[in-house]
Chain A
Amino acid sequence: MMRSNWISFTSIARKEMIRIFRIWLQTLVPPVITISLYFIIFGSFIGSQLGDIDGYDYMAFIAPGLIMMSIITNSYANTVSSFFSTKFQRNIEELLVSPTPNWVMVLGYISGGMTRGLCVGMLVSLVSLLFIRLPLFNVPFTILFALLTSFVFSLAGLINGIFAKKFDDISVIPTFVITPLTYLGGVFYSISLLPDFWRTLSKANPVVYMIGGFRYGFLGITDINVWAGLGMLLLFSVVLFLITLYLLKKGTGVRC
């Protein structure tokens, strides 16, 4: 049984990889170009006018944030679009009629989201090395935050895909929720520099902790409690996973 589930998982994962690399011009290239532009504009052109933050120049400060931003956006984008197109083309039925348990199905799709999120994150990291030398203060933290954030946003994208009924539905949440939370999540500034009101408000934004923890992994500086960040990511991982399982068990969006 375990072996059967494993084979089922690798089949889904394999299909997701094939998809990501088949449409690499849509999945891998655009985010790398966008983030490179951020590096050039904010890091080089504007950053050179700014002073250091916590002893790092502005380019080094925003690099972890930009990498994390690409991980968040691409993990989410991959599961939401892949799952929705699977529903749209009805090949989700291939999985539904098979004995594959829901949790295996969820992990399969997540493996796709994480592959794309982390691939793009890696590419963006490489791009950043053209501009700066990035230190690595705490490798386990860096990896843990990258993996967990990717996991959480892959799940969130999957939930969005489960609910989505038409193409518009897959861009609403990214546009109105994820992008604002990310831009306001401390990619470009340290929240400790914000006025009291905005700083307090920012602490309610989960992305602040993800970027904060990730930046801590690279630079060893932080404006949040990284352990709280880690705990929150673990909590989100569990809760979103259970929600996804519950939705699939009910058949939401996939069975009539």
Chain B
Amino acid sequence: MLALSIQNLQKKYQGGFQALSGVTFDVQEGDFFGLLGPNGAGKTTTIGIITSLVTKTGGKVRVFGIDIDDDFPAAKRLIGVVPQEANFSIFEKVQDIVTQQAGYYGIPRREALVRSEKYLKKLGLWEKRHVPAQQLSGGMKRRLMIARGLVHEPKLLILDEPTAGVDVEMRRGMWDFLVELNRQGRTIILTTHYLEEAEQLCNQIAIITRGEIVENTSKRELLRKLNKETFFFDTKNPVSAVMPLENTEFSFMDDGTLVVTKNKSQSMNRILAHLDQQGIVVDSMRNKANRLEELFMEMVE
């Protein structure tokens, strides 16, 4: 079953900026799905549309088969969301924030109190339950929003850059918590601009940039692609065939340029020696730009 299916999603903000131009991806039930992309790529906009905070200007969104245009309330019951920036009232008390949210989902108060206790304890906030939210540290605020997002026990949990600005130790703790949630069968979508985070947590990764999905694949496949580099070899004489070499792919361009794709860890010497044995003389070589790599450079900046 698909936990989420997004087709050709479009968003043009008032003022005319096109934030999403045809975003399409699916998330399988049980996945830990990473939406990876640099700032301004459209991650928050996409999540905004799924959770009704942003109105789409085109496309389809289905949550466990429910089209949000047909029955948004039913879809909302299945989704829990942890936003990028704090969006609770700082004057309200920690437990009130969680029980109120349960109430908005129609959970009776008695049950809401039980659940808020459960999740506040899990997230290490139970001692702070009577404290106004403004007295919490940044990391605690984030955990409060996770507790709030879980209180109606959604099948799909969406977290928007949950570890941005969180210290390393707490990040580890949060990762463990999320992995455990996912192991218990909850589908999780997480946005991030850290490859490392997506790599640690996600089994499926889509990359978004400038409002478009440019890659959507398993983590293994993505890492494999990232681990490769491609070179153009200009040879003295045109080449049309090369003996195979392990972990290396050879192909040819029309003008006789030899294209070599190798694992990063593999030495260039081995390849040159291999070509030399066959009497192929390499005059010069150029590195082919790696689109994914460029993208990650952009994210790190």
Q: Which residues of B contact A256 (CB under 8 A)?
A: 13-14, 48, 53-55
B58 an interface residue at 8 Å Cβ cutoff? no
Tell me if B21 is interfacial: C-beta within 8 Å of chain A: no
Nearest B residue (CB) for A101: B73
Choose among A8, A85, A97, A251 the residue with the greatest number of B CB atoms under 10 Å from its CB: A97
A7 at the interface (CB under 8 A from B): yes
Tell whether, in the assembled complex, residue B54 and residue A89 are in contact, meaning their CB atoms are under 8 Å apart. no
A255 within 8 A of partner (CB): yes
Report the separation of the CA atoms of residues A99 and B92 in the bound assembly, to the nearest whole angstrom. 22
Q: Which of A18, A19, A85, A90 contacts B87 (CB 8 A)?
A: A90
Give the total number of A-B pairs whose CB atoms are below 8 A apart: 90
Chain B minimum-CB-distance residue to A93: B87
Residues of B within 8 A of A101 (CB): 73
Interface size class of B (residues with CB under 8 A): 35 or more
Q: Pick the contact of B88: A12, A14, A89, A99 (CB < 8 A).
A: A89
Contact A7 B73 (CB under 8 A): no
Contact flags (1/0) for A1-19 with B, using CB distance below 8 Å? Answer: 0011101101110110011
A10 to B90, CA, bound (A): 21
Asked whether B76 is an interface residue with its Cβ less than 8 Å from the other chain, the reply is yes
**What residues of chain A lie closer than 8 Å to B104, measured between beta carbons?**
8, 11-12, 94-95, 98-100
Contact of A251 among B51, B55, B81, B103 (CB under 8 A): B55
How far, in whole Å, are A191 and B37 apart by their CA atoms in the complex? Answer: 67
Are A97 and B79 interface neighbours, CB within 8 A?
yes
Complex CA gap A3/B87 in Å reads 27
Size of A's binding interface in residues, CB under 8 A: 30
Q: Report chain A residues within 8 Å CB of B107.
A: 7
Would you call A228 an interface residue if the criterion is a C-beta within 8 Å of the partner chain's C-beta atoms?
Answer: no
The complex places the Cα of A10 from the Cα of B48 at a distance, in Å, of 26
CA distance A93 to B77 in the complex (A): 15
Which residues between 152 and 194 of chain B lie within 8 Å of chain A, taking CB atoms?
A: none
CB of B135 closer than 8 Å to a CB of A? no
Task: Flag if B100 contacts A94 (CB, 8 Å).
Answer: yes
B108 within 8 A of A: yes
Known contacts A91-B87, A255-B54, A256-B54, A99 near B100 by CB under 8 Å: no
Question: B residues within 8 A CB of A86?
Answer: 89
With both beta carbons as reference points, the residue of chain A lying nearest to B48 in the complex is identified as: A256
- Asked whether, in the complex, the Cβ of A97 is within 8 Å of the Cβ of B103, the reply is no
B59 within 8 A of A: no
**CB pair B103 A7 closer than 8 Å:** yes
Give the chain B neighbours of A12 by CB distance below 8 A: 103-104
Q: Check if B89 sits within 8 Å of A97, measured CB to CB.
A: no
- CB atoms of A94 and B52 under 8 A apart: no
**Within the complex, which residue of B85, B99, B101, B106 is in contact with A5, where a contact is CB–CB below 8 Å?**
B106
With both beta carbons as reference points, the residue of chain B lying nearest to A98 in the complex is identified as B104
Q: How far is the CB of A251 from chain B (nearest CB, A)?
A: 6
Which A residues, 198 to 256, have Cβ-Cβ distances below 8 Å to chain B?
251, 255-256
Q: Is B234 an interface residue (CB 8 A)?
A: no
Closest residue to B108 on the A side, CB-wise? A7
A105 to chain B, nearest CB (A): 9
In angstroms, how far is the closest chain B Cβ from the Cβ of A5?
7
Q: How far is the CA of A5 from the CA of B103 in the complex (A)?
A: 9
* CB-defined contacts of B109 to chain A, threshold 8 Å: 7, 10-11
Measured between beta carbons, the chain B residues less than 8 angstroms from A96 are: 51-53
Q: Please name all residues of chain A whose beta carbon is closer than 8 Å to the beta carbon of B101 when the two chains form the complex.
A: 94, 98
Question: Is B30 part of the contact surface with A, judged by Cβ < 8 Å?
Answer: no
Tell me which residues across on chain B come within 8 A of A5, comparing CB atoms. Answer: 106
Closest to A2 in B: B106
> Given A89-B88, A93-B83, do A99 and B55 touch, yes or no (CB 8 Å)?
no
A99 CB contact (under 8 Å) in B96, B105, B108, B148: B105
Output the nearest chain A residue to B101 by Cβ-Cβ distance. Answer: A94
Interface string of A81-112 (1 = CB under 8 A from B): 00001100111011111111100000000000
In angstroms, Cα B134 to Cα A91, docked, is: 13
A166 at the interface (CB under 8 A from B): no
Contacts of B103 in A (CB 8 A): 7-8, 10-12, 14
Return the 10 tightest CB-CB contacts between A and B, nearest first.
Answer: A11-B103, A4-B106, A99-B73, A98-B104, A90-B87, A91-B89, A99-B76, A97-B51, A93-B87, A7-B106
The chain A residues found within 8 Å of chain B, CB to CB, are: 3-5, 7-8, 10-12, 14-15, 18-19, 22, 85-86, 89-91, 93-101, 251, 255-256
A-B contact pairs, 25 of them (CB 8 A): A5-B106, A7-B108, A8-B106, A11-B100, A15-B96, A15-B100, A18-B92, A18-B96, A22-B91, A89-B87, A89-B88, A89-B89, A90-B85, A90-B87, A93-B53, A93-B83, A96-B51, A96-B53, A99-B73, A99-B74, A101-B73, A255-B55, A256-B14, A256-B48, A256-B54
5 additional A-B pairs beyond A86-B89, A89-B88, beta carbons within 8 Å, are A7-B107, A19-B91, A99-B76, A100-B104, A256-B14
